[in-house]
Amino acid sequence: MIKKFFFPSIDKDVLEIMDKISTKGIENISLIVAIFEAITLAIFVLTRKSFGSEEWKSITSVLFCVATCTCGYFSAKYILREKKLKHILVTMLNAIYLMLMSLWGMWASYRRYGRGEQILTFYAVEVMVVCFIALKPWVSTALTISSYIILYLVLYLVDGAAGINIINYSILALVSAIGMGVRYHTLIRASQATVELQKTKDSEIQDKINMLQAIANIYDKVNLIDFVNNYEMSVRSKEQIKHDIDPVSQTHTVMSRMIRKRLMPDQLDSFIEYTNLKTVRSRLAGKRLLSDDFIDVVDGWFRAQYIPVEVDENGIPSRIVFTTRNVDDEKKREERLVRIAMTDELTRLFNRRSYEEDLASYRENGLDKDFIILSADVNGLKKVNDTIGHAAGDELIKGAADCLVLAIGNKGKVYRTGGDEFIALIHADNPQKICADIESCVNEWHGKFSESLTISIGVAAYADNQDLNVNELEKKADNEMYQAKARYYAAKGVDRRASGKR
């Protein structure tokens, strides 16, 4: 396993895609860093009235970074000009770029360290290269560990590296090395998926090209568009009537104009753009097909595809097949699978996976002032399961779910995140009323197996805790719920630690 991690075997096609992705990444990040550092340098120079040795050292350091990134940008751009990249050049670019940027990070951090500051520049550079450099794990590990060792030795000569916590520093070095290895293997998997997808498409398209008449029996509509002789023809039609195409004034075929009469109004503009004859050839250039899905107001979803049959010497399609196929059942299956993946089978509430995805969205986009997290837990579920049975326990869980949904309504989403654990993400101005509505519903509940239901609730409103992020609000709501649960069991005289009850 270790050997496979550090010395992975890679298919030639996969390696080619990895080279393109990594080189493009260096091109992009080099341009961004070069521009940013150049602006920083300009501001630094313009705001200084005099220049001593320290100022000149800072200028030299930044110029080194700008020069490295500029060279990295143009080197990557030069390599990407070739249709088939040379792997040795890509490897050299990644290795040299890693070493030069690490050297700059060490240089800048050494100067900061001499002034009693933290070596944040070096850490920032290492994080950057972990995200963008693609070298075989054994190479990247050797280079990364070497960078950390060299910097430590340099700082050791200054003051015995007194400002460095050797344990934290070693962990950071290990994380950087592992991170680059993980990045490389992630790139392998992504590239393998791309190669497999491309092979599948190539095989499918080749079959379609060789069996054009058979394709007509697979698809609902098949239209041959001939840009050499300027006509279109339905392949499925027995008469195979040819309709002339005016390359100067005509923008759409007879077939596409007929289809758009039954198209959903909100998709009309995108369909007109997709089927534009003026642009379809350039959009297809260098591609195996164009594909997009639209909705017929009568028959539902259909997939429209452009497939090049012949291309000219410049790679521009000269004959194209335009097909449509009903995929409404496929779409419904996809929607059903997504729904199953995101909902809890017992309660039909959203599940933990859905909750984690929504929570990630809040982390990324921030919180509104009316945002509320509500945490709820069924009381006494274990006792019910043990004494009455799991059917009774399930009844309590579904009862709690129903009360939460009824009380919260369209103000938020309710998730079952564990056995008897629920969380709701709400947008409302009155958390107390929501809690009261839940309690009211719970108090009125009666089941087939159990006469009553109780739940413990904790609430955290962003309006009252604007210094907290979503994770902290979640923790606060959980803490309040557990406090409520403790009060419930204390009132019942139950020692939860001794009984193991929830």
Please provide the DSSP assignment of 94-117 as one string: HHHHHHHHHHHHHHHHHHHHHTT-
DSSP string, 230-292: TEEEESS-SS--EEE--TTT--S-HHHHHHGGGB-GGGHHHHHHHT-HHHHHHHHTT-S-EEE
- Residue 100 pLDDT more than 50? yes
The residue-averaged pLDDT of 160-179 equals 79
Please say whether the beta carbons of 151 and 172 come within 8 A. no
| Angle (CA) 352 354 355, round 5° | 60
CATH class of 213-331: alpha beta
Gap between the Cα atoms of 104 and 64, Å rounded: 7
Are 470 and 478 a contacting pair, CB within 8 Å?
A: no
Tell me the pLDDT tens digit for each residue of 358-375: 999 999 998 999 999 999
With 90 as the cut, is the pLDDT of residue 480 above it? Answer: yes
Q: What percent of the chain has pLDDT over 90?
A: 28
Residues 263, 301 contacting (CB under 8 angstroms): no
Separation of alpha carbons 330 and 301, rounded Å: 9
Beta strands in 418-489, from DSSP E residues, in sequence order = 421-427, 455-461
Domain positions in the chain: 2-203, 213-331, 343-499
Contact 370, 427 (CB under 8 A): yes
- Provide the greatest CA pair distance for the chain: 90
CA distances from 418 to 7, 351, 487 (A): 41, 9, 21
Average pLDDT over residues 130-137: 74
Instruction: Return the half-sphere exposure (C-beta side, CA atoms, 13 A cut-off) of residue 385.
Output: 14
Model pLDDT, residue 209: 47
CATH class of 343-499: alpha beta
Q: Judge whether 325 and 218 are in contact, CB under 8 Å.
A: yes
Output the pLDDT for position 206: 52
Per-residue pLDDT at 469: 93
C-alpha 422/C-alpha 481 separation (Å) is 11
Q: What percent of the chain has pLDDT over 70?
A: 90
Strands 242-244 and 290-296 turn out to be unpaired
In this prediction, residue 490 carries a pLDDT of 87
CA distance 236 to 290: 21
Mean pLDDT of 133-156: 80
With cut-offs at 50, 70 and 90, classify the pLDDT of residue 120. Answer: low
- CA distances to 85, 210, 213, 222, 259 from 238, rounded to whole Å, are 48, 20, 11, 12, 20
Q: Indicate the residue type of 420.
A: D
Mean pLDDT for the chain?
A: 84
Q: List, in sequence order, every beta strand (DSSP E) within 354-447.
A: 371-378, 412-416, 421-427
User: Tokens 């020069």 belong to which residue?
Assistant: 67
CB atoms closer than 10 angstroms to residue 449: 13
